[in-house]
Chain A
Amino acid sequence: MKQLMDLANRDPLARRWAKNCAFDLMFGVGDDHYQVEVRGGQIEAMRERPSKLTSWDFAIAGPQSSWQAHWAPVPAPTFHDIIAMRTAGHITIEGELTGFFANILYVKRMLELPRIEGWLQ
């Protein structure tokens, strides 16, 4: 996941939409959870398995199979977008969602980068 942090911080499109973003995302892949701390449009920290008392603004989580389907070179319908995945029940999106909607272009881009970078190819 350290790779994802580096990717997001140098990806031109992510940087384009990240301007002034500031939020704490709890990102869940199966049993693994990562606290993604975004400040000033950069991921400043990504902490694996943070303390259970860690606070966050919103959480996006799903089984590993959902994220693998999302990151497939050509994802199938309902797996191609996080809102589509949430609508179909493949993942959950919860918490204080103002930050999610305010930064939706950046959040989507960040979570699509493994597909765009061909991690599963």
Chain B
Amino acid sequence: MRKSMIEPITGRYMQLELWGASHRIYWEESGQGIPLLCLHTAGSDGRQFRALMNDEEVTAQYRVIAFDMPWHGKSSPPAGWEAETYELTTRKYLDLILAISEALELDRPVVMGCSIGGRIVLHLAREHPDAARCVIGLQSAGMINPYYDIDWLYRPDVHGAHVCAGMVSGLIAPTAPGEHRWETLWHYMQGGPGIFKGDLHFYTVEGDIMDHVGEIDTAKCPIYMLTGEYDFSCSPEMSQTTADAIEGAKFKVMEGMGHFPMSEHPEAFKDYLMPVLDEIRDAS
């Protein structure tokens, strides 16, 4: 039985002016060293990185930071949200990452994102290679093949919490520990109405970078890619196709892992992440 304890993670809020409006953003962090800025998946929040921020082997070398995107987790939507339909775009996502990095005075952080986060780090490496010392794309691909009508995620006759969790549950590997599987799904059940769908606008429609990934200069911004073998949304084949189009990209398939490696099976994920983090540390 585990003993009661206080985790080393601290959480705070910042006020950011973005797109002409004030945004109250929540972030958590733990550790000291090279800044490691973590980007959560669509429709979820920064709690996905809870294990990483509790891992002393990581936090002894890295300052691990995870923020909740506006409209997600403990970050608020902007005033007037009640009359707005949330829709994530590439430009907004990049603006957000750059603004948070600046607000926290991060010196060329390692930016690690999963799913939509894995997509945006490709845009970041292409458009702002000086903003990161390298990027890590988890479940990362230049584009994916949409496999269902995302309108099902936001309807008055289908419970949003149930359908959001139900649609992503199959993206988790069957070998994931039950505790972590259901924690991951709980985060999805807590998403605001229409938010997962709004994120997927970027992921499945607007954020296609496949025709431009070849323009990424990995000499300026190295790219590491890790994809779980059970992910059929961003499959290993899709990541491989993307990696093949980026000269110098380093890609590995994670066995026994699905779409949420850091959240669904943190211990197994560490076996794949640590060699990458060690390589980045040695190069820094």
- Note whether A and B form a binding pair: yes
Interface residues, chain A, CB within 8 Å of chain B?
17, 74-75, 77-78, 80-84, 87-88, 97-98, 101-105, 108
- Inter-subunit contact B158/A98 (CB<8 Å): yes
Which chain A positions have C-beta within 8 A of B166?
Answer: 101, 104-105, 108
> CB of B230 within 8 A of chain A?
yes
**B165 in the interface, Cβ–Cβ < 8 Å?**
yes
Task: With both chains docked as a complex, state the minimum distance between the C-beta of B189 and any C-beta of chain A, in angstroms.
Answer: 10
Number of A-B contacts (CB under 8 A): 53
Q: Interface of B with A (CB < 8 Å)?
A: 147-148, 152, 155, 157-159, 162-163, 165-167, 169-171, 173-175, 229-230, 232
Question: Chain A: which residue is nearest B163 at the CB level?
Answer: A101
Q: How far is the CB of B235 from chain A (nearest CB, A)?
A: 8
A56 CB → nearest B CB, Å: 18
Interface centre among A75, A81, A98, A101 (most CB of B within 10 A): A101
User: Could you say which of B162, B163, B165, B169 contacts A81, with CB atoms under 8 Å apart?
Assistant: B169
Q: Is the beta-carbon distance between A104 and B167 smaller than 8 angstroms?
A: yes
Q: Which B residues touch A108, using CB under 8 A? A: 166, 169-170
Given contacts A80-B173, A81-B169, contact A104 B162 (CB under 8 A): yes
Do B162 and A105 have beta carbons less than 8 Å apart? yes
Whole-angstrom CA separation of A81 from B258 in the bound complex = 12
Q: Who on chain A is nearest to B236 by CB?
A: A77
Q: Could you tell me the distance between the alpha carbons of A105 and B170 in the complex, rounded to whole angstroms?
A: 10
